[in-house]
Chains A and B, each alone.
Chain A
């Protein structure tokens, strides 16, 4: 019979100061702290009682919650989606739009309509449940300074009309739409990390937030970093938080990302190839649950879903109009029957 390994105290989430005090006092594993009370510990380490309490609390944590896939299936079916107002875009995302409870990353070169899409979602998340919406509030984290309130008002007006709102109280309704978008302007990567780390408190005060848009995640992380390992760690730490928000509050997290050029070296120095890939490097590619790339093709905007645990890889067309995101006006259906080659191996 194997003896279960003992858990080192370093695997608890403690402040460095407490950790070294525990170490100096001779505590090495959680078993050593088995019968120690918070009062005795506070006295022995010479720290305030609340700090000792935090140590003891971590040892008596809650039991782990697991759900069966059957329960998860029921939960997934109950989840709401946020429509983009482009039928093709929605169907690419599984039928009714950007899913809540998931992290969706949207990558695209400048001018593809990432910000437009973000603003459209901020408005659409507020559509009442009776009209097929999520009836929630939105958080918009703007790192690039591209959020234009007049434009949001325009989109909100169009949305209000399309769900059948009457004309007389249009102005109040549009104002109300705007009042339910919480806007944060971020000027540096430290600010960005600080905001994400404090988001839990904000979400506690605003439990009805169903959408978080970050436009863009990459902006402050593409310069001023000499230690790329540090950048990767910070980004992955943030990604953990996004996934937690999505799951705990059942909200949709939408991350906008920029594109960058990758030079692939060929056999000789003269046949290097350049491809456009999402920014922030290889490990960031794992951060999101769904990843969508926006690109131009024959003067039409296209969106392609490239990563998803439950959706098929496919490409669709969409348009950006005065009213917001819509299907392209020409009834030019996406070529959905390419040449097929049967698999024989």
Chain B
């Protein structure tokens, strides 16, 4: 709620009036608009001044409409994408993560969500020599050594390495905040929002990507039947994140758990058209329920491409990739599908290959 005396009126008469009002306990915009007129007149302010003040306050508080053509111009100017570092996924996302967009990676454990977060973070800092990334880690999974390995050995960053950008430079532009419960996440988001608005440090004035890995770990103990407080926290976080994304042009990337979907018959789960491979049905779905499902703009769902089998492991073929240094890297294969999106076709998908220092995905022709 806006405090009246904190507003800069550029008008001595109005400044004087707000000071007088504050002395009788009318402090906020709401106080003024809801106060009894006769009571206000007792402060010695004229009706005229009060009308002037009320008009000014209403003017300040209302949201102004933007004409459609201006909005389009503004949107075009902001129409920039952050690359995930993987051409196939960028194609799936029709360019990458749009600035101001809220993207969720959901899926079962060990499907590559955190890996793609790491890779996107490095790609963002490598592509733009001033960009910074904020990483909120609740899964105790932030691994700086993994980030360092990816940048040092991946073919994707050969060009930036040759241009003289060293690992130190990349790593110093990624900052991590450990967070272990939902209450402290709200504290952190409040403070981050303030730092972004005040541009307190060089770091905060250049943030392009905010990652929360994982939002599921923080919120899932708090939501469920009869847990109204959890939902208040969830939606407060969602609001802050959306407001940060839009007002500072930052991409928000969160990871989420998976839970089993109710499978009563063979007709289970949400069908994935799965591109060319025909319909697939999953026995899991993203966690956090219906309320949360309205929050992200784009939801990607990660799955193991095939169930890993414990038996007969060494007879299996291992996929490999020869990188530009000539090293042969074993890979594991994962699948990513669009679960829901306002701008992409749900059901489209691609494969992601994860190796010791490499994340690969290929665009379809």
Query: Chain A residues in contact with chain B, CB under 8 A?
Result: 1-8, 10-13, 29, 31-32, 61, 63-70, 72-73, 75-77, 101-103, 229-230, 232-234, 236-237, 239-241, 243-244, 246-247, 264-267, 275-276, 281-283, 285-287, 289, 291, 293, 295, 297, 304, 306-310, 312-313, 315, 335, 338-343, 345
Is there contact, CB below 8 Å, between B319 and A64?
Answer: no
Q: Could you give, for residues 210-241 of chain B, a 1 whenever the CB lies within 8 Å of some chain A CB and a 0 otherwise? A: 00001011101110110111001100100110
Is there contact, CB below 8 Å, between A243 and B260?
Answer: no
Q: Which stretch in B8-16, B155-163, B328-336 binds the other chain?
A: B328-336
Q: Is B276 an interface residue (CB 8 A)?
A: no
Q: Which of chain A's residues has its CB closest to B322's CB? A: A342
Is there contact, CB below 8 Å, between B178 and A247?
Answer: yes
Is there contact, CB below 8 Å, between B139 and A295?
Answer: no
Q: Which single member of B197, B228, B317 contacts A4 (CB below 8 Å)?
A: B197
Neighbouring B residues of A233 by C-beta, 8 Å: 220-222, 224, 227
Is there contact, CB below 8 Å, between A11 and B233?
Answer: yes
Is there contact, CB below 8 Å, between A338 and B317?
Answer: yes
Beyond A247-B178, A338-B317, whether A8 also contacts B232 by CB under 8 A is: yes
Q: Which of chain A's residues has its CB closest to B122's CB? A: A69
The smallest beta-carbon distance between B76 and chain A, in angstroms, is 20
Q: Which of B49-84 contact A (CB under 8 A)?
A: none
Neighbouring A residues of B187 by C-beta, 8 Å: 61, 64
Beyond A267-B266, A338-B316, A341-B320, whether A72 also contacts B144 by CB under 8 A is: yes
Neighbouring A residues of B102 by C-beta, 8 Å: none
Q: Is B128 an interface residue (CB 8 A)?
A: no
Q: Which of chain B's residues has its CB closest to A10's CB? A: B232
Is there contact, CB below 8 Å, between B259 and A283?
Answer: yes
Is there contact, CB below 8 Å, between A73 and B148?
Answer: yes
Distance between Cα atoms of A339 and B171 in the complex (Å): 36
The smallest beta-carbon distance between B356 and chain A, in angstroms, is 5
Is there contact, CB below 8 Å, between A73 and B310?
Answer: no
Distance between Cα atoms of A293 and B309 in the complex (Å): 12
Is there contact, CB below 8 Å, between A309 and B314?
Answer: no
The smallest beta-carbon distance between A191 and chain B, in angstroms, is 19
The majority secondary structure among interface residues of chain A is: mixed
Q: Is B96 an interface residue (CB 8 A)?
A: no
Neighbouring A residues of B89 by C-beta, 8 Å: none
Is there contact, CB below 8 Å, between A70 and B171?
Answer: yes
Q: Which single member of A69, A309, A312, A340 contacts B320 (CB below 8 Å)?
A: A340
Q: Which single member of B110, B143, B197, B351 contacts A307 (CB below 8 Å)?
A: B110
Is there contact, CB below 8 Å, between A309 and B141?
Answer: yes
Is there contact, CB below 8 Å, between B220 and A236?
Answer: yes
Chain B interface size band reads 35 or more
Is there contact, CB below 8 Å, between B174 and A7?
Answer: no
Q: Which single member of A10, A77, A230, A312 contacts B356 (CB below 8 Å)?
A: A312
Q: Is B168 an interface residue (CB 8 A)?
A: yes
Distance between Cα atoms of A295 and B313 in the complex (Å): 12
Is there contact, CB below 8 Å, between B266 and A76?
Answer: no
Neighbouring B residues of A236 by C-beta, 8 Å: 217, 220-221
The smallest beta-carbon distance between A31 and chain B, in angstroms, is 5
Q: Which stretch in B36-44, B188-196, B293-301 binds the other chain?
A: B188-196
Q: Which of chain B's residues has its CB closest to A3's CB? A: B2
The smallest beta-carbon distance between A102 and chain B, in angstroms, is 6
**Chain B CB within 10 Å, residue with most, of A4, A72, A265, A297:** A72
Is there contact, CB below 8 Å, between B233 and A230?
Answer: no
The smallest beta-carbon distance between A115 and chain B, in angstroms, is 21
Distance between Cα atoms of A140 and B131 in the complex (Å): 45
**Chain B CB within 10 Å, residue with most, of A32, A64, A286:** A286
Distance between Cα atoms of A267 and B268 in the complex (Å): 11
Q: Which single member of A11, A69, A102, A267 contacts B140 (CB below 8 Å)?
A: A102
Is there contact, CB below 8 Å, between B145 and A77?
Answer: yes
Neighbouring A residues of B1 by C-beta, 8 Å: 6, 29, 31-32
Q: Is B258 an interface residue (CB 8 A)?
A: yes
Is there contact, CB below 8 Å, between A286 and B216?
Answer: yes
Is there contact, CB below 8 Å, between A342 and B225?
Answer: no
Distance between Cα atoms of A104 and B187 in the complex (Å): 28
Q: Which of chain B's residues has its CB closest to A235's CB? A: B221
Distance between Cα atoms of A343 and B171 in the complex (Å): 30
Beyond A2-B247, A68-B174, whether A295 also contacts B310 by CB under 8 A is: yes
Q: Is B138 an interface residue (CB 8 A)?
A: yes
Is there contact, CB below 8 Å, between A246 and B140?
Answer: yes
Q: Could you give, for residues 118-135 of chain B, a 1 whenever the CB lies within 8 Å of some chain A CB and a 0 otherwise? A: 100000000000000011
Q: Is B349 an interface residue (CB 8 A)?
A: no
Distance between Cα atoms of A267 and B314 in the complex (Å): 29
Q: Is B292 an interface residue (CB 8 A)?
A: no
Neighbouring B residues of A304 by C-beta, 8 Å: 310, 313
Is there contact, CB below 8 Å, between B115 and A230?
Answer: no
Beyond A309-B143, A310-B145, whether A265 also contacts B171 by CB under 8 A is: no
Is there contact, CB below 8 Å, between A11 and B236?
Answer: yes
Is there contact, CB below 8 Å, between A64 and B192?
Answer: yes
Is there contact, CB below 8 Å, between A66 and B232?
Answer: no
Q: Which single member of B140, B183, B263 contacts A13 (CB below 8 Å)?
A: B183
Neighbouring A residues of B144 by C-beta, 8 Å: 69-70, 72-73, 75-76
- Among all A-B residue pairs, the 3 with the closest Cβ atoms: A285-B109, A73-B144, A307-B110
